[in-house]
Amino acid sequence: MSKDNPILTTKDFTILEAMRDNRLGTEDPLTPILRRKLGSALVVFAEDLPETVASLNSRVTFTVNGGERQTRALVLEGVASVVGMSLSITTLRGMALLGLAEGDECVFSNRDGLEERILLEKVHYQPQASQRRGTASAERKPLLTLVRGGRDESPRSFRIMSGGHDDPGPSAA
C-alpha cells in the first residue's frame, strides 16, 4: 500500500479482524492485504473519521491501473444490492479501498499474480459524515414551528426536531 496507515472505524477494524481469523492458514490472496491493513491501521471512533476516508457502506469513485473510473458502494459480502452498484470488502479491490483517503492508492497482487494499483479518487457518501451532518443540522434549527393563537391570544411556538419522537408508543393506546 502506498498509504502507510489506512484509517478504519472501530467497527470496520473488528470486521476485518474476524475476516482474518476466518482465513488463518489459507492461501487466499486476500490474506496478505488483510494482514497488512490490520497491522498498519489507525483506528478511530466513527465520529472522528474524516469524511474523505472510505468506510463500510461508503460510495466511492476509483480507478484500477489508471483505467476507467468506477463508482461503487463498499459493502459486506452477502448484503443484498444491485449488481454493478456495490463492491464487497471480501474482494481484493474492496479490501484495498477500505480505509483509504481521497488521493491514496493501494498496490496489491490480484488472483492471477498480476500487480494492480487502485486509486481512490472520491468519497461521495460516507455514513459517518452523513450522520454527523444530520445530527448537527437537527441541533441548529427546527424542522417545523407551529404557532398557535389568534387575535386574542399571544402566539406560542412549539419546536419539532428531527430524530425526536412524539409517538408515546403502544402503551398510550
Model pLDDT for residues 63-97, shown as the tens digit of each residue? 999 999 999 999 997 666 667 899 999 999 999 99
Q: How many helices and strands in the chain, by DSSP H and E?
A: 4, 9
Q: Given the DSSP bridges, would you call strands 115-125 and 59-64 parallel, antiparallel or unpaired?
A: antiparallel
CATH topology of domain 7-131: Chitinase A; domain 3 (3.10.50)
What pLDDT is attached to residue 32? Answer: 87
Q: At CA 42, angle to CA 40 and CA 44, rounded to 5?
A: 155
For residue 1, the Cα-to-chain-centroid distance in whole angstroms is: 20
Per residue in 5-45, pLDDT (tens digit) is 899 999 999 999 999 988 766 788 888 889 999 999 999 99
CA distances from residue 153 to 104, 145, 149 in whole angstroms, order as listed: 62, 17, 5
Q: In the block, which residue shows the cell 476507467?
A: 68
Segments making up each domain of the chain, as ranges: 7-131, 140-172
Radius of gyration of the chain from its Cα atoms, rounded to whole angstroms: 22
pTM as predicted: 0.74
Average pLDDT value for the chain: 82
Q: Residue 52: is its pLDDT beyond 60?
A: yes
Q: At what angle do helices 10-23 and 30-40 cross, to 10 degrees?
A: 140
